[in-house]
A = this chain, B = another copy of it.
Protein backbone atom coordinates (compact mmCIF):
# COMPACT_ATOMS: atom_id res chain seq x y z
CA UNK A 1 0.00 0.00 0.00
CA UNK A 2 1.23 3.45 -0.87
CA UNK A 3 2.07 5.70 1.98
CA UNK A 4 0.55 9.08 1.62
CA UNK A 5 -0.24 12.29 3.37
CA UNK A 6 -3.56 13.20 4.87
CA UNK A 7 -5.57 15.34 2.52
CA UNK A 8 -8.59 17.50 3.23
CA UNK A 9 -11.21 17.75 0.55
CA UNK A 10 -12.16 21.33 -0.09
CA UNK A 11 -14.86 22.62 -2.39
CA UNK A 12 -14.65 26.16 -3.65
CA UNK A 13 -17.77 27.95 -2.56
CA UNK A 14 -19.64 30.87 -4.07
CA UNK A 15 -18.31 33.39 -1.60
CA UNK A 16 -14.66 32.37 -2.10
CA UNK A 17 -14.63 33.97 -5.53
CA UNK A 18 -13.30 37.46 -6.13
CA UNK A 19 -13.93 40.13 -8.72
CA UNK A 20 -11.69 38.30 -11.21
CA UNK A 21 -13.97 35.25 -11.09
CA UNK A 22 -11.37 33.06 -9.38
CA UNK A 23 -10.62 32.17 -5.77
CA UNK A 24 -9.52 35.27 -3.81
CA UNK A 25 -5.97 34.36 -2.95
CA UNK A 26 -6.23 34.98 0.81
CA UNK A 27 -8.84 32.21 0.82
CA UNK A 28 -6.06 29.72 0.07
CA UNK A 29 -4.58 30.52 3.47
CA UNK A 30 -7.99 29.85 4.95
CA UNK A 31 -8.02 26.52 3.11
CA UNK A 32 -4.61 25.74 4.62
CA UNK A 33 -6.03 26.38 8.06
CA UNK A 34 -9.16 24.34 7.49
CA UNK A 35 -6.98 21.45 6.26
CA UNK A 36 -4.83 21.76 9.38
CA UNK A 37 -7.92 21.64 11.59
CA UNK A 38 -9.06 18.45 9.86
CA UNK A 39 -5.56 17.03 10.07
CA UNK A 40 -5.66 17.22 13.85
CA UNK A 41 -8.96 15.31 14.05
CA UNK A 42 -7.90 12.70 11.54
CA UNK A 43 -4.20 12.13 12.25
CA UNK A 44 -3.47 13.40 15.76
CA UNK A 45 -6.66 11.99 17.17
CA UNK A 46 -7.74 15.14 18.93
CA UNK A 47 -9.79 18.04 17.62
CA UNK A 48 -7.86 21.25 17.09
CA UNK A 49 -10.57 23.08 19.07
CA UNK A 50 -9.84 20.76 21.99
CA UNK A 51 -6.08 21.37 21.76
CA UNK A 52 -6.78 25.05 22.17
CA UNK A 53 -9.58 24.90 24.72
CA UNK A 54 -8.36 22.02 26.86
CA UNK A 55 -4.59 22.26 26.61
CA UNK A 56 -4.48 26.06 26.40
CA UNK A 57 -2.06 26.02 23.47
CA UNK A 58 -2.12 27.96 20.26
CA UNK A 59 -0.07 27.81 17.06
CA UNK A 60 0.19 31.25 15.51
CA UNK A 61 1.85 31.44 12.12
CA UNK A 62 5.12 33.38 12.00
CA UNK A 63 6.17 32.64 8.44
CA UNK A 64 4.36 31.71 5.28
CA UNK A 65 5.26 30.94 1.67
CA UNK A 66 2.98 29.87 -1.12
CA UNK A 67 2.97 29.33 -4.85
CA UNK A 68 -0.27 29.52 -6.78
CA UNK A 69 -0.08 27.38 -9.90
CA UNK A 70 -3.61 27.10 -11.20
CA UNK A 71 -6.76 29.19 -10.97
CA UNK A 72 -9.69 27.80 -9.07
CA UNK A 73 -13.28 28.57 -9.96
CA UNK A 74 -16.57 28.17 -8.16
CA UNK A 75 -17.46 24.50 -7.84
CA UNK A 76 -13.89 23.26 -8.24
CA UNK A 77 -12.70 20.71 -5.73
CA UNK A 78 -9.21 20.25 -4.41
CA UNK A 79 -7.45 17.78 -2.22
CA UNK A 80 -5.18 19.64 0.12
CA UNK A 81 -2.42 17.49 1.57
CA UNK A 82 -0.93 18.39 4.94
CA UNK A 83 2.68 17.44 5.59
CA UNK A 84 4.77 17.84 8.74
CA UNK A 85 8.05 19.08 7.33
CA UNK A 86 9.95 19.91 10.51
CA UNK A 87 9.46 19.73 14.26
CA UNK A 88 11.58 22.09 16.34
CA UNK A 89 11.53 22.67 20.09
CA UNK A 90 8.73 25.22 19.91
CA UNK A 91 7.99 25.43 16.19
CA UNK A 92 6.39 23.20 13.60
CA UNK A 93 6.80 23.64 9.85
CA UNK A 94 3.80 22.44 7.88
CA UNK A 95 3.66 21.96 4.13
CA UNK A 96 0.60 21.88 1.92
CA UNK A 97 0.04 20.62 -1.59
CA UNK A 98 -3.31 21.13 -3.21
CA UNK A 99 -4.32 19.48 -6.45
CA UNK A 100 -7.57 19.18 -8.32
CA UNK A 101 -9.53 16.24 -6.96
CA UNK A 102 -8.86 13.24 -9.15
CA UNK A 103 -5.96 14.91 -10.98
CA UNK A 104 -2.82 14.52 -8.89
CA UNK A 105 -0.71 16.22 -11.55
CA UNK A 106 -2.89 19.32 -11.57
CA UNK A 107 -1.19 21.07 -8.68
CA UNK A 108 -3.09 24.18 -7.71
CA UNK A 109 -1.15 25.46 -4.74
CA UNK A 110 1.95 24.59 -2.76
CA UNK A 111 2.97 26.25 0.43
CA UNK A 112 4.37 25.93 3.88
CA UNK A 113 4.09 27.83 7.10
CA UNK A 114 5.93 27.90 10.39
CA UNK A 115 3.82 27.94 13.52
CA UNK A 116 5.06 28.53 17.04
CA UNK A 117 3.58 26.79 20.03
CA UNK A 118 2.40 29.36 22.57
CA UNK A 119 0.50 29.50 25.80
CA UNK A 120 -2.92 30.79 24.84
CA UNK A 121 -3.16 33.21 27.75
CA UNK A 122 0.29 34.81 27.79
CA UNK A 123 1.24 34.08 24.16
CA UNK A 124 4.69 33.05 25.52
CA UNK A 125 6.47 30.40 23.50
CA UNK A 126 6.33 26.95 25.04
CA UNK A 127 7.83 23.60 24.18
CA UNK A 128 5.72 21.36 22.02
CA UNK A 129 4.31 18.85 24.49
CA UNK A 130 5.69 15.33 24.30
CA UNK A 131 2.37 13.73 23.37
CA UNK A 132 1.99 16.00 20.37
CA UNK A 133 5.59 15.54 19.25
CA UNK A 134 5.12 11.77 19.29
CA UNK A 135 1.95 12.00 17.23
CA UNK A 136 3.57 14.32 14.70
CA UNK A 137 6.61 12.02 14.38
CA UNK A 138 4.38 9.01 13.95
CA UNK A 139 2.55 10.85 11.19
CA UNK A 140 5.84 11.71 9.50
CA UNK A 141 6.72 8.00 9.48
CA UNK A 142 3.34 7.08 8.01
CA UNK A 143 3.98 9.55 5.17
CA UNK A 144 7.65 8.67 4.59
Contact = CB atoms under 8 A, between A and B. Distances in A.
A62 interface: yes
One complex includes copies of this chain to the number of: 4
Interface of A: 13-15, 17-22, 24-27, 29-30, 32-34, 37, 47-50, 52-53, 58, 60-69, 71, 73-75, 111, 120, 123
A14 B21 contact: no
Given A19-B49, A19-B74, A49-B75, 11 more contacts: A13-B33, A14-B20, A14-B48, A14-B49, A15-B24, A17-B18, A20-B52, A25-B29, A49-B74, A62-B67, A64-B67
Contact of A64 (B25, B50, B52, B62): B25
Nearest to A24: B15
A115 to B, nearest CB: 9
Contacts of A53: 74-75
